């Protein structure tokens, strides 16, 4: 599926931006469809399938720069999770509007649940990309996998990719990812995309982008990214767990337009003129007589010049012409031709 892409594949990540409202979740699907993205992703977990309810120090987020500073993991995921009975109406709305609906499972039970909904492929988040038991379990569904690569070392990533392949995963998309929220462009290291293409030639490479704006995603297309994932909200003003680094509808529309424009511009390795450039060929430079010349006079730098348009002889023979005699009289403004000199 992903290897045959003829344009960038854009994923709108709903995450927790439904703010615990199914009505809002369905509005997000509708907005995503109007923005012309290709797919909408949700997350399938509960607080109890992803962590435990504990206020011990290691379960507390203590980072003054974090959007979630002061939360316990359990309290954060309780606010952020998508109730599982919403998955089917969300996927049904996606299908109705021409979007591909899919999800990120975070444990075996979520995979089993999503299999009953017949999702077409799975997403693995950066925080689970080295959870080999989960990867193997997902791979055994024999469906494609999109996996973010935040924080993972190259040797670990190779191990994860092997675990997926060896357990039945037929196709993989690896997304370059920086797992900070929002991510700073200086931490993005986009050139890793070109190395990932060399390290994993059987995989499609893309970007899971947590930076603000569209610039980083657009730039990734020029480096070879084929899949772009961005968090999506109706409005950042309606504050939610992920809203601060999520894109609004107008931004997603611009993203879709810009990445498709850049992708079209990549083309193939080509030298020479395109068909569209043919009319411009006449404006290249050529040799012209710029002062009246009488028969027998010498061509010099004062009476022969390289100018536009391209009706005269090519400029590459300029040095050959200088010093020769004109065999006919020539008026200024005449393109130089072979029959004008010996």
Two structure tokens written together for 322: 């200088």
Q: What is the rounded average pLDDT for all residues in the chain?
A: 96
For the ranges 63-72, 145-154, 278-287, the lowest mean pLDDT is seen at 63-72
What kind of fold does domain 2-45+81-266 have according to CATH? TIM Barrel (3.20.20)
pLDDT of residue 239: 78
pLDDT of residue 63: 84
pLDDT of residue 65: 80
What band does 240 get if pLDDT is binned at 50, 70 and 90? confident
C-alpha to C-alpha distance for 138 and 223, rounded to whole angstroms = 29
294 CB-near residues (< 8 Å, 6+ apart): 326, 329
Q: Is 276 exposed, middle or buried (0-12, 13-18, 19+ CB in 10 A)?
A: exposed
Two structure tokens written together for 38: 């290709």
- Let me know the angle formed at the C-alpha of 321 by 317 and 325, rounded to the nearest 5 degrees: 160
When pLDDT is averaged across residues 111-117 and rounded to a whole number, the result is 98
The pLDDT of residue 67 is above 90 = no
Read off the pLDDT of residues 76-87 as tens digits, 9 standing for 90 and up: 999 899 999 999
Two structure tokens written together for 71: 């939360």
C-alpha to C-alpha distance for 336 and 300, rounded to whole angstroms = 13
pLDDT of residue 174: 98
What band does 264 get if pLDDT is binned at 50, 70 and 90? very high
Are 226 and 8 contacting, i.e. CB atoms less than 8 angstroms apart? yes
Read off the pLDDT of residues 128-150 as tens digits, 9 standing for 90 and up: 999 999 999 999 999 999 999 99
Pairing assessment for the beta strands 204-209 and 172-177 based on DSSP bridges: parallel
Structural Rg of the chain based on CA atoms: 30
Residues of the chain with CATH 3.20.20.70: 2-45+81-266
306 CB-near residues (< 8 Å, 6+ apart): 285, 286, 287, 288, 315, 318
Read off the pLDDT of residues 13-32 as tens digits, 9 standing for 90 and up: 999 999 999 999 999 999 99
pLDDT of residue 133: 98
When pLDDT is averaged across residues 6-13 and rounded to a whole number, the result is 97
The pLDDT of residue 64 is above 90 = no
Neighbours of 72 (CB within 10 A): 19
Q: Residue 246 in 3-state DSSP?
A: coil
pLDDT of residue 225: 98
The pLDDT of residue 257 is above 90 = yes
The pLDDT of residue 242 is above 90 = no
What kind of fold does domain 275-340 have according to CATH? Type Iii Antifreeze Protein Isoform Hplc 12 (3.90.1210)
Please tell me the pTM assigned to this model. 0.90
pLDDT of residue 59: 94
pLDDT of residue 66: 82
Q: Which helix (H) or strand (E) segment is 177 a member of?
A: strand 172-177
The pLDDT of residue 342 is above 90 = no
pLDDT of residue 317: 97
Q: Residue 223 in 3-state DSSP?
A: coil
What band does 163 get if pLDDT is binned at 50, 70 and 90? very high
Stronger pLDDT, 69 or 324, i.e. the higher one: 324
Two structure tokens written together for 157: 């990533």
The pLDDT of residue 243 is above 90 = no
pLDDT of residue 143: 98
Neighbours of 341 (CB within 10 A): 19
Residues of the chain with CATH 3.90.1210.10: 275-340
Three-state secondary structure of 88-140: HHHHHHHHHCCCEEEEEECCHHHHHHHHHCCCCCEEECHHHCCCHHHHHHHHC
């Amino acid at each position: 599926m992903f290897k045959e892409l003829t344009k960038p594949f854009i994923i709108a990540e709903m995450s927790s931006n439904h703010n615990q409202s199914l009505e809002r979740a369905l509005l997000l699907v509708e907005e995503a469809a109007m923005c012309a993205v290709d797919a909408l992703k949700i997350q399938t977990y509960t607080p109890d399938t992803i962590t435990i309810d504990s206020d011990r120090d290691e379960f507390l987020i203590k980072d003054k720069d974090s959007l979630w500073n002061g939360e316990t993991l359990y309290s954060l995921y309780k606010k952020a999770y998508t109730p599982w009975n919403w998955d089917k109406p969300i996927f049904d709305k996606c299908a109705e509007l021409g979007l591909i609906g899919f999800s990120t499972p975070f444990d075996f039970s979520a995979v089993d649940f999503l299999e009953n909904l017949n999702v077409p492929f799975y997403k693995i988040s950066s925080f689970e990309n080295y959870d080999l038991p989960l990867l193997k379990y997902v791979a055994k569904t024999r469906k494609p996998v999109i996996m973010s690569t935040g924080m993972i070392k190259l040797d670990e990533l190779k191990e994860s990719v092997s675990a997926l392949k060896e357990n039945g995963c037929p196709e993989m998309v690896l997304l370059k990812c920086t797992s900070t929220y929002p991510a700073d462009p200086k931490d993005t290291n986009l050139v890793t995309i070109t190395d990932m293409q060399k390290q994993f030639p059987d995989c499609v490479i893309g970007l899971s982008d947590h930076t603000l704006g569209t610039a980083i995603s657009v730039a990734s297309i020029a480096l070879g990214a084929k899949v772009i994932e961005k968090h999506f909200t109706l409005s950042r003003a309606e504050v939610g767990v992920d809203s601060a680094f999520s894109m609004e509808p107008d931004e997603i529309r611009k993203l879709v337009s810009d990445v498709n424009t850049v992708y079209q511009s990549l083309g193939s390795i080509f030298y020479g003129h395109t068909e569209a450039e043919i009319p411009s060929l006449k404006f290249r430079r050529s040799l012209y007589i710029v002062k009246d010349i009488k028969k027998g006079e010498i061509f010099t730098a004062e009476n022969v010049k390289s100018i536009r348009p391209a009706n005269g002889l090519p400029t590459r023979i300029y040095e050959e012409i200088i010093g020769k005699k004109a065999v006919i009289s020539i008026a200024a403004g005449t393109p130089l031709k072979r029959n004008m000199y010996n």
